Amino acid sequence: MPSARRGKEQAIRTYKLCLLGFGNVNRALVSLLQQKDEWLRDRGIGWNICGVASRRLGWVANPEGCDPAKLQDLNPENSGGSGELADDLQDWLRRSRPDVVFEATSLDPDTGQPAIDYIRAALHAGAHAITANKGPVVHAYRELQALAEVQKRFFRFEATVMDGVPIFSLFRESLAAVELKSLRGILNSTTNVVLSGMEEGLSFEDALAQAQKIGVAETDASHDIDGWDAAVKVAALVNVLMGIRLRIEEVQREGIRGLTGEKVRAALNRGCRYKLVCRAGRDGNSVTASVRPEILPISDPLAGVSGTSSIVSFETDIFPGLTITEFNPGVQATAYGMLSDLIGIADREKSSSALATEQEQ
Ligand SMILES: NC(=O)c1ccc[n+]([C@@H]2O[C@H](COP(=O)([O-])OP(=O)(O)OC[C@H]3O[C@@H](n4cnc5c(N)ncnc54)[C@H](OP(=O)(O)O)[C@@H]3O)[C@@H](O)[C@H]2O)c1
């Protein structure tokens, strides 16, 4: 092995990773870890997947590390080869001893559970917790953040809003001294795809059926169509970026069910577009937030965002207008949000240990 490479190998810290929820997002994360493995090792980050769990898989633990190439075949009928089955969450954490737990279970918008309990247990067990699930951020951000600080661990959630787009880290790091006054955006892709379909001549029902056919919308799309998903995202952004407690019920919410193809096309003929717009505005220590269909002039940057793309525009005390647009994201972008959280944590740990060494000398 060349000496430069050997030097890098010596500096590698291998993180024991556990995946809680093994659907689209965490499976994409495994592929991404494999794809970026060399880059990560060059940055001093090694990894081993020591546990995988889901409702149907149960709690699979393997402290020696699972073979990532075989993980994609893991299914409820074939979990034995990857490790031993633990009895429950606590037993799983005890056996797999993770440094980081990636939580990507299904969203329960009403309670954020059981993901909140999972993250709490991971932090108590001494692991960092990274989630793609908006529920814990909306329902328990302050508690989990405080617990992470007590445990000297990190709670991170970059993938929860606009997939892997660096919004939370942008405000935490580069915009740390900036005050967010308001935000406006399009944060739900299903409704945006349905609105685009109606502009192209379809009825509401046909546009929704088409969105379901191409896999953008779920069979029961009411969560998106009635504005719940967008409201959850607004609440997550407000709770974290404005530091103001906002519950989902406090977001004024109207979905796109009341719109017809005729209405949408009539607006287009007048040079305007219907969009499901998310808004939040700070007023002192309180905030007003809404999700509702609005008619926007074509010249509005939000009007130019169609299909599965999304956009958010921030008004701050320093930057009057700062806009981020995400074009056609895939699940890989969400997985990237989680990977970027891992890289951020590893970098922080590296800096703290370098500082500690310096102080000892
Ligand atoms: N897909 C995206 O692009 C995207 C983007 C941003 C955020 N997210 C968020 O990321 C999370 C995961 O999304 P996904 O697309 O990967 O969902 P998914 O494909 O439906 O996978 C969900 C996983 O969670 C597991 N699960 C559900 N309830 C559980 C419970 N009570 N205990 C343990 N495991 C449980 C499921 O287990 P079984 O399969 O065994 O039932 C499944 O493995 C969701 O919160 C979602 O809102 C997703």
For ligand 1, atom 44, name the residue with the nearest CA.
106
DSSP 204-215: HHHHHHHHHHTT
- Residue 250 Cα to ligand 1 middle (Å): 26
What tens digit of pLDDT does each residue of 307-355 get?
999 999 999 999 999 999 999 999 999 999 999 999 999 999 998 877 7
Residue 17 is predicted with a pLDDT of 98
List alpha helices for 248-330, DSSP H. 261-269
What tens digit of pLDDT does each residue of 207-233 get?
999 999 988 887 889 999 999 999 999
pLDDT above 50 (res 277): yes
- Residue 119 Cα to ligand 1 middle (Å): 14
Residue 10 is predicted with a pLDDT of 57
- Residue 226 Cα to ligand 1 middle (Å): 21
Q: Burial-class residue 245 by CB neighbours within 10 Å (0-12, 13-18, 19+).
A: middle
With the most atoms of ligand 1 within 8 angstroms of its CB, the residue from 55, 92, 223 to mutate is: 55
- Residue 335 Cα to ligand 1 middle (Å): 12
With the most atoms of ligand 1 within 8 angstroms of its CB, the residue from 25, 117, 332 to mutate is: 25
Q: In what order do the strands lie in the sheet with 13-20?
A: 84-86, 58-61, 45-54, 13-20, 100-103, 128-131, 155-156
pLDDT above 80 (res 248): yes
Mean pLDDT of the chain: 94
pLDDT, greater one: 76 or 238: 238
What tens digit of pLDDT does each residue of 44-99 get?
999 999 999 999 999 999 999 999 988 988 888 876 568 899 999 999 999 999 99
- Residue 25 Cα to ligand 1 middle (Å): 7
What tens digit of pLDDT does each residue of 114-147 get?
999 999 999 999 999 999 999 999 999 999 999 9
Q: What angle do CA 338, 342, 344 make, to 5 degrees?
A: 110
**Closest by alpha carbon to 90, among 51, 43, 44?**
51
- Which is the closest atom of ligand 1 to the Cα of 25? 16
What is the percentage of the chain residues whose pLDDT exceeds 90? 85
What is the percentage of the chain residues whose pLDDT exceeds 70? 96
Residue 73 is predicted with a pLDDT of 86
- Residue 163 Cα to ligand 1 middle (Å): 14
For ligand 1, atom 26, name the residue with the nearest CA.
105
The pocket around ligand 1, CB under 6 angstroms, is made up of: 21-25, 54-57, 104-107, 114, 132-133, 159-160, 163, 331, 334
- Residue 44 gets the label, from left (phi > 0), alpha (psi -120 to 50) or beta, of left
- Residue 22 Cα to ligand 1 middle (Å): 7
Q: Note whether 108 and 134 are within 8 A (CB).
A: no
Residue 2 is predicted with a pLDDT of 46
Q: What is the number of other CB atoms lying within 10 angstroms of the CB of residue 36?
A: 17
Asked which of 26-40, 207-221, 242-256, 327-341 is least confident by mean pLDDT, the reply is: 207-221
- Answer whether 0.85 is exceeded by the pTM: yes
